[in-house]
Amino acid sequence: MVRNKGIRDTGCGMRVTGFILCLVTMGSVLPSAWAALQVRAMVDSSRISLDDQLRYTIEISGGGRNVTRPSPPELDSFTIYSAGSSTNISIVNGQMRSSARFTFVMVPHAPGVFTIPSVEVQANGSVYKTDPITVEVLDGGVAPAPPRTGPAPPRTPPQTPARPPAAGPAVPQPPELNEFEYERGDIFIRAWVDKPEAYVNEQVLLTYTVYTRLEASIREFAEDPKFTGFWQEEFPPEKKLKTERVRIQGRDFVKADVRRVALFPTKSGTLAIDPGILVAQVSVRERDPFFDEFFNDSFFAGWGRTLTRSVERRLATRPISVEVKDFPQEGKPEHFTGAVGDFDITAHIDTQEVEENEPVTLKLKVFGEGNVQTVQEPKWARLEGFKYYDSGTTTDVNTFEQSVIGEKAYEKVLIPQKEGSYEIPPFEFAYFDPASGTYRNKKTGGFALKVKPGPVEEQVSAAARTQGSQQEIELLGMDIQYIRQDLGRLRPKTAPLYERPFYLWIHALPVLAYLGVLVWTRRRERLGRNPALARLERARRMSDRHLGTARRALERGDGVGFYGAVSQAIRQYIGDKLNLPIAGLSVDTVLGHMRVKGFEEETVELLKECLITCDTGRYASLTASPQDMDETLKTARHILRALEKKL
């Protein structure tokens, strides 16, 4: 009897110990999945000249692969372009680690000291923020300054895909202008592609060219063109725009390419490139009305004084259609996976002679001209008697002249289980060459691998592990206990700890906590994959936050801060609800979207009056009484309630 009681107590203690270990394990493992990830931003120099460019890089390193491509920082004093990305995935000791770099080129517009704001990065279902970086732009030459926050990313393309692009014209030329575009006045923009037809996943170079007869300063795209059905890679801008004089219908123009984008169609059919709107600041000359008022006699005709003023022009492109052809079936290899361009393949192993259970590293690299981001891993011929482990994948993308180039590297670890001589077969990679319209196949050489026997101690240990223990359960005794004739007094006994309700609830807590974390993580991942949905869900929360900022500015008498917060609340709410860039939401743009959504004209006019009041208060230093600002705040709340009913 005593022995049985001891067994019961021991089982209870084991349950308690297991429960404590479960809590400790969950408490240490769950947070580490997020704590391992690091996000940082860096620039190649903290001080540049006005004629130079700044390379801004966002680096994401640590665990996890669910990383959403970050948007560039919003900074009015710079024009920002994407300059490529690179990824690296490695598996060490069964744990996967990945890193990604996203590089942007920033072209300054004016000298001064600027702070690059924080950038939000969505990874593993969570939102991370980079630290702000301060840079200085000087009006003239400048000595090189050390990089900020980390080493500068490389400025040159990788050396592996060194061969030039396929033969053809060095620089694509735009087709002749048609009559419709001649009539666009003294400044206009054209969007054109280097080829009207292409195969699936073949590069199509899209160029935006500005023609002007005026002094102009190109700012940015107020409405970015949509590239639905295309994979895109942005070309970094030139340090100085290359201009050329052309003559169109007897008039002299200066033309310059202001943006280039490499597009890779993802499906066949007719794909449309939607229009975009470019903002330019131009200098316009006009006669002085004061001079004409006093010297309006015909004798003074032609002697009037001219003035120059700067005005903003919004230049719109026309839509473009590209006919995309599917791959031909004739001659299509079985191992073709959709790569298009001009590629090559190499393979390498770190040793050709090992012992049993010693690792062998095999590296495979695909490189060349084309969209390496979509290149799929070649098939690996698995050998019997080997264990295979993925060690990582690295992708590096760059632009070179008129093409996108890059490389994709795969690494595997092979562990032989028995001695012998083996032959690792060659690797094959098939791609489609659009220049010739044929499929091409690249092949590596094979590798001879000799596996020698492992140490004798290791073999003996392995044999011993297979035998196991043959010991039987030992019978300790078969004693007969004396039968008690007097039961004694019966007393109530407290239920054991493991039978109490609160103990069961404590056991359920880790499961409930795990389910809660799982639901929360899935939701964050869903929002991370769909930025438009994330903006939609946070729209009201962000508008309430800005209105709270406006209320505090009203209480301390800060008119500029008050009107800026109210304007931000309305514009960001509309931008989040309609998934529009906030930077391009001018008053006319906002009103146009509201009319398209079917809002009553009374609401549209109220919205227009409120936005104009806010802009006047922000930029014209409008002096308003607290009563006027309070009335504006009430109007803004009324507008947001009306917007929420229809958006």
Residue 169 has pLDDT above 90, yes or no: no
| Residues 229 and 289 reside in one and the same domain | yes
| Residues 628 and 535 reside in one and the same domain | yes
| Residues 437 and 350 reside in one and the same domain | yes
Q: What tens digit of pLDDT does each residue of 252-265 get?
A: 899 989 889 999 99
| Residues 273 and 223 reside in one and the same domain | yes
What is the largest distance, in Å, between two alpha-carbon atoms of the chain? 144
477 inside domain:
no
Q: What is the DSSP letter of 638?
A: H
The CA distance from 485 to 340, in Å, is 94
Is 4 within 8 Å of 94 (Cβ atoms)? no
Is 28 within 8 Å of 86 (Cβ atoms)? no
Residue 207: its pLDDT value, please?
93
Residue 197: its H or E element: strand 197-199
The CATH number for 63's domain is 2.60.40.740
Distances (CA, A) of 490 to 4, 487, 494: 20, 8, 13
Q: Which of 86, 90, 39, 33 minimizes the C-alpha distance to 60? A: 39
Residue 499: its pLDDT value, please?
66
564 inside domain:
yes
**Domain-ending residue, one of 85, 108, 138:** 138
User: What percentage of residues in the chain have a pLDDT greater than 90?
Assistant: 21
What order of strands is seen across the sheet that includes strand 277-287? 215-223, 277-287, 306-316
| Residues 549 and 636 reside in one and the same domain | yes
DSSP secondary structure, 433-449, as one string: ETTTTEEEEEEPPPEEE
- Give me the chain's average pLDDT, please: 76
Residue 141: pLDDT band by 50, 70, 90 thresholds?
low
| Residues 315 and 441 reside in one and the same domain | no
519 inside domain:
no
| Axis crossing angle, helix 559-578 with helix 587-596, rounded to the nearest 10 | 40
State pTM to two decimals. Answer: 0.49
Residue 538 has pLDDT above 90, yes or no: no
Tokens of residue 336, six digits: 């073709």
Average pLDDT estimate for 399-424: 88
282 inside domain:
yes
Its domain, for residue 451, covers 341-455
Q: Which of 103, 117, 9 minimizes the C-alpha distance to 58? A: 103
The CA distance from 115 to 74, in Å, is 11
| Residues 221 and 307 reside in one and the same domain | yes
499 inside domain:
no
Residue 490: its pLDDT value, please?
57
524 inside domain:
no
| Residues 9 and 100 reside in one and the same domain | no
| Residues 224 and 319 reside in one and the same domain | yes
Residue 583: its pLDDT value, please?
66
Residue 84: its pLDDT value, please?
65
**Domain-ending residue, one of 408, 425, 455:** 455
Is 63 within 8 Å of 70 (Cβ atoms)? no
Q: What is the DSSP letter of 266?
A: -
| Residues 113 and 249 reside in one and the same domain | no
| Residues 52 and 82 reside in one and the same domain | yes
Residue 498 has pLDDT above 80, yes or no: no
**Domain-ending residue, one of 455, 489, 511:** 455
The CA distance from 393 to 445, in Å, is 21
Which range among 175-179, 447-451, 530-534 shows the weakest confidence by mean pLDDT? 175-179
570 inside domain:
yes
520 inside domain:
no
The CATH number for 441's domain is 2.60.40
| Residues 573 and 615 reside in one and the same domain | yes
Residue 174: pLDDT band by 50, 70, 90 thresholds?
low
Residue 616: pLDDT band by 50, 70, 90 thresholds?
confident
Q: Which residue has the higher pLDDT, 376 or 141?
A: 376
Q: What is the DSSP letter of 340?
A: B
Distances (CA, A) of 615 to 168, 277, 407, 571: 52, 22, 49, 12
Q: What is the CA radius of gyration of the chain?
A: 35
User: How many domains, in total, are found in the chain?
Assistant: 5
